[in-house]
Chain A
């Protein structure tokens, strides 16, 4: 029952929410589309929270995505023990960065002036990412070679979700930490359209090739 909930029901609900509510928010509530930075109010500890957290999570997420998109390529990359060991160590290091980051972020939410400007959603967001960091690092240490088994369990299960033939058997035997990690991930997806999580959907890069000064005209000029 529990497995069906976290491996079938919640994923589908979350994906549906993210897919349909996010564009709605983009069209109707873009004035709330922001990371709601608190650096302005507190910056000393933010540095030790935001920087490790983001550098950790952004790279790790890309890693997850690569494993999902190109499983066979990753498989052959990890075929040598040394390579697997190096990659896992890097991942664990990044995981520890996110753990440090989330602890600091949560600490400053609760114990500094930032608290006064926080609402429930700010805490939910941080608790969700803290959960990901803790369970992720836990697996990195106690359920070794996750990079390897991720490819044979989680990835095929995700594909089975995408093809609407959910195969829970692929992942039901995995440790509890994994289940909580997956549950957390889909909860993040579910909360995405309702919280400041939307901030990472538009990573600005277009400006790199544009001229520095942007003009807007009511009426386009001829020339």
Chain B
């Protein structure tokens, strides 16, 4: 067993209001630059919907992620040799229009225009060419099911297109996305220059800008389309998990600013030797296989192995109070996004408990169960959720939804001073204590409950520190006069 630690984000989709505050705070800090205008390291899309870039989940089009071929797990887009043959032109790489053409408005025209017969207007101009453009799409063009015949109805996860035209069954929810900082990152494997790497200490996946030569295989290989090509610098970039913040124990910008307080960040211990089994698992077993390699931080044996592997004491303590571990493994309510891409993504989603179906029958039925619906009354089809979060395994989704519904019943009874049949709790794997913890995480979660981020221990890097002293700026290891 090879015990390692990773910082993991968990999203509680029930609470996401689709406000895009996360995207804006990320953009303001990291991608408000030339060449990065179109990039949204954090984006929020409506499901069902096309997403960003459009229909990114359709791997027949984009060829991202891994596929199992016999005994091997291979990149879907290219083998090692075909990388060399396709290096001059990449057949499957998305183009700018698949994201959107970034624009701004000629605001200066409003006050510099001088006197004219007509009202001044601020026309849209391209942020790339500077010319006037017709706006044809944006990063959340199909927000709230806008234009659904074109977008939502073609969502690859949607089985029944009709559902979007049937008012009583219509549904939607929001899906915020960042890079998943995967355990088996396709972006890393696809880079022939070896510029992308996973940090051993906290699992963050980064593109080394000094090594990247702009070959762009990572852009194609990432099934989540979370590596972006910067046309201005000629290099690829991606979400950095706000490591300058997390290294000092602060929450990531997106998580910190989240209005719905839907995001949790904490340490998770995992068994790196088990990754191989996860990526080979049958589709139905993918979620279970991934849960299996996530380790219990309260198990003495695992803590010992973690220590031997150099996981710092503060990280082990943080793992014990980690909201991420509790939601993913202890309560099994959080799921990886599209595990069938086999990158073993390390961000997790708690599926939404949607409103009830708007049929008369159900409106009566829900009264019989104290206004708390059963999982069969929910609008979002479990099948749809399973296609997003469990590679089609509906059972695990049902279990999680059940658990959350039982929790509601329990808390209702508790608040009203009514009696509650504890065997119901136990049947869904909860006890009173555990229910209390889950309830806190779902509802009250203060800043410290949501984020248990131990600072990084850069002091281990003793030799490097000597080198950096007196060097110019952040992380640029050249002398003050620049190189030679």
Interface residues in chain A, defined as those with a beta carbon under 8 Å from any beta carbon in chain B: 24, 27-28, 30-41, 43, 46-47, 50-51, 53-55, 113, 116-117, 196, 199, 202, 204-208, 210, 212-219, 221-223
Contact = CB atoms under 8 A, between A and B. Distances in A.
Given A28-B482, A34-B235, A51-B89, A216 B213 contact: no
B379 to A, nearest CB: 39
| 10 A-B pairs with least C-beta separation | A34-B234, A28-B483, A116-B129, A212-B189, A204-B192, A217-B200, A34-B214, A36-B234, A219-B460, A54-B88
A164 to B, nearest CB: 26
Contact of A218 (B188, B232, B458): B458
Interface residues of B, number: 54
Interface string B178-210: 000000110011011110111111000000011
Contacts of A36: 214, 231, 234
Contact of A30 (B192, B210, B215, B461): B210
Contacts of A37: 214, 216, 229, 231, 234
Nearest to B99: A40
B149 interface: no
Interface in B144-203: 184-185, 188-189, 191-194, 196-201
Given A46-B89, A47-B89, A204-B193, A31 B95 contact: no
B89 A39 contact: yes
B355 interface: no
Interface in B426-484: 456-458, 460-461, 464, 478, 482-484
Given A37-B234, A43-B95, A213 B128 contact: no
Contacts of A31: 209-210, 233, 235
Interface string B115-158: 00000000000101111000000000000000000000000000
Contacts of B362: none
A41 B461 CA distance: 41
Interface in B288-330: 309-310
Given A36-B234, A53-B88, A204-B215, 10 more contacts: A27-B478, A33-B210, A34-B212, A37-B231, A43-B95, A116-B128, A202-B213, A204-B213, A221-B200, A223-B309
Contacts of A32: 233-234
Contact of B213 (A33, A38, A47, A221): A33
Contacts, number: 137
Interface in B67-88: 80-81, 84, 88
A171 B212 CA distance: 41
A218 B201 contact: yes
A217 B478 contact: no
A32 B478 CA distance: 15
B88 A113 contact: no
B391 interface: no
A204 B322 CA distance: 41
A39 B478 CA distance: 32
Contact of A40 (B231, B457, B461, B478): B231
Contacts of A205: 84, 192
Contacts of A30: 210-211
Contacts of A39: 89-90, 93, 95, 216
Interface of B: 80-81, 84, 88-90, 93, 95-96, 126, 128-131, 184-185, 188-189, 191-194, 196-201, 209-216, 229, 231-235, 309-310, 456-458, 460-461, 464, 478, 482-484
Nearest to A221: B310
A37 B211 CA distance: 16
B88 A116 contact: no
B464 to A, nearest CB: 8
Contacts of B93: 39-40, 43
15 contacts: A24-B484, A28-B478, A31-B233, A32-B233, A35-B215, A36-B214, A40-B96, A41-B95, A51-B88, A117-B128, A205-B84, A208-B80, A212-B189, A213-B184, A214-B196
Contacts of B88: 50-51, 53-55
A113 B189 contact: no
A39 to B, nearest CB: 6
